[in-house]
Amino acid sequence: MSVGILGTGHYVPTKVVTNKDMEKIVDTNDEWIRTRTGIEERRIADDDTDTSDMAYFAAENALEEANVKAEELDLILVATVTPDSPFPSVACRLQDRLGATQAAAMDVSAACSGFMYGLITAKQFIDTKTYKHILVIGVEKLSKITDWEDRNTCVLFGDGAGAAVVGEVSEGKGILSFELGANGSGGKYLYQDEHDHLIQNGREVFKFAVRQMPKSAVNVIEKIGYNKEDVDYLIPHQANIRIMDAAREKLGISEDKMATSIKRYGNNSAASIPIALSEAVKNGNIKDNDLLVLVGFGGGLTWGAVALRWGK
């Protein structure tokens, strides 16, 4: 059995906050943000839109594209570090709102690697024929844990959701290999403090990411006996354009073969990879039979990568 993605969807809030807007909030400037991160603007959800709302909008989009009804779902996995509340889970809230009455539901906490953890977990359930259709969502309302007085972090993050319906696909397509990892000793570099604010040691996270993300991308290609030149499209976690370029250059991929939603949305944590994937599919940048590499890293510290042959 081959396991792949049947449909994708995404949602970003309508409110746009530009770098010029950030100049009015903290001591920073547009050039500094752009040259160091690649971010020009980000989307911020309003007070009436919570994490589960964004997850719902992305889920509806993905289910429609996959031609799968909510009641056909067997499991809902939501990757997030910003749930509406500690419990019930976002997945349970979503199960009810979608009317996915046959689905089990749980949240996954692996920060920016969350979607990768969810996608690979979904594959195991389908491989064992336990479940047939699984909805995997990465969603964050990072604006509610952002310290808007900390110029080192507040310029980086945005809100949004990306979704994928996972199920059986044709032989030779779908997920061909994967890698998951964690290094808990690095948790002190990226965490949520006692004030519920996101704290990041940018220098240490950058050093970890530029080492791990290219390494994982190459690893999943080598596991299936392919060469770097065989990769058609790279979808990295949208954390920092310099980190993304490090992975792209390690694979020898041109700029037009890498998803770059960071410019418009900033870092969406667990939502960044599925948003970038969904956009690339809808824009026609990903075509049937393309070999994709999805790779990310996040707090924990965690990381994950997948080599995937696109198509049903």
Annotated catalytic residue within 10, 61, 92, 237? 237
The verdict on whether 237 is a catalytic residue reads yes
Tokens 């949208």, residue?
Answer: 238
Q: Specify whether the backbone of 159 is left (phi greater than 0), alpha (psi in -120 to 50) or beta.
A: beta
Task: Give the number of C-alpha atoms closer than 13 A to the C-alpha of residue 82, restricted to the C-beta side.
Answer: 30
Annotated catalytic residue within 112, 133, 268, 285? 112
As a whole number of angstroms, the distance between CA 35 and CA 13 comes to 25
The verdict on whether 154 is a catalytic residue reads no
As a whole number of angstroms, the distance between CA 163 and CA 102 comes to 19
Measured from the Cβ of residue 104, the count of other Cβ atoms closer than 10 Å reads 16
The verdict on whether 240 is a catalytic residue reads no
Residues 6 or more apart whose Cβ sits within 8 Å of residue 145: 81, 82, 192, 196, 197, 198
Annotated catalytic residue within 19, 61, 267, 268? 267
Query: What's the CA angle centered on 204, arms 203 and 205, to 5 degrees?
Result: 95
As a whole number of angstroms, the distance between CA 225 and CA 260 comes to 27
- Known catalytic residues? 112, 237, 267
